[in-house]
Structure 1
Amino acid sequence: MNVLEEWTALVCKELGIDPARVDRNLILDLTKDVAHGVARPAAPLTAYLLGLAQGAGTAPEDAVARLRRMAGNWGTATKETMDDR
């Protein structure tokens, strides 16, 4: 078991989460896209916000795909937003 697997298992145990429900690679890919497409500090914040939404039952099924798409389009979106002012 590598450090990341061990950490994930221990955190899941501590928080009462079934580790089988954690798609570690999906979350790591999301945070990578956000860190590179938006800003590094936005990556953990986005993962946290996704967790809050899922915990509250309000996250859409395709939430990760939508967030990754938003991060990929961030440069264009912010340019368009800035041009509208």
Structure 2
Amino acid sequence: MTGHIEVLEPWVEELLTALEIEGTPIDIEAVLDLAGEAAHQIVRPAAPVTTFIVGYAAGLAAATDQATSVVAMKAASGVASRLCAERAERAGNSAESPAAEE
């Protein structure tokens, strides 16, 4: 993963600058972890969709002074992570349930 981070860090900085939001703290590892959860517990295309929605929600919360950007991102990521785990648990339970086969 270290190789990915070495490539991603300059890319993130370049993107932040291009979007005129340089200096915005981005926890690359946390974003990748959440994307992995969504991809494995939901379906692979859920990874970019989930991370986009989490970022959007966090941005709205920060822009409306509901929370700092760091707190908003952690909160939104936590919600998404919890939902991924719950969805995976439900899928596991329904696969084991005899009623799911009917």
Tell me whether the two structures share a fold, i.e. TM-score over 0.5.
Answer: yes
Q: Secondary structure at the match of 2:21?
A: coil
Higher relative contact order (CA 8 A, sep 6+): 1
Task: Determine which of 22, 25, 31 is the counterpart of 1:18.
Answer: 22
Cα deviation digits, residues 13-67 of structure 1 (max 9, x gap): 1112234511111111111111110011011001111111122227585221221
Identity %: 30
Greater helix share, 1 or 2?
2
Larger Rg: 2
Residue 29 of structure 1 corresponds to which residue in structure 2? 33
TM-score of the aligned structures, taking structure 1 as reference length: 0.76
Q: Mean Cα displacement is larger for which, 70-79 or 19-28?
A: 70-79
Distance 1:39 1:53, change over 3 A: same
Structure 1: gaps spanning 5 or more residues: none
SS at match of 1:73: helix
In structure 2, give the amino acid aligned to 1:76: E
User: Does the alignment pair 1:62 with 2:75?
Assistant: yes
Q: TM-score, normalised by structure 2?
A: 0.65
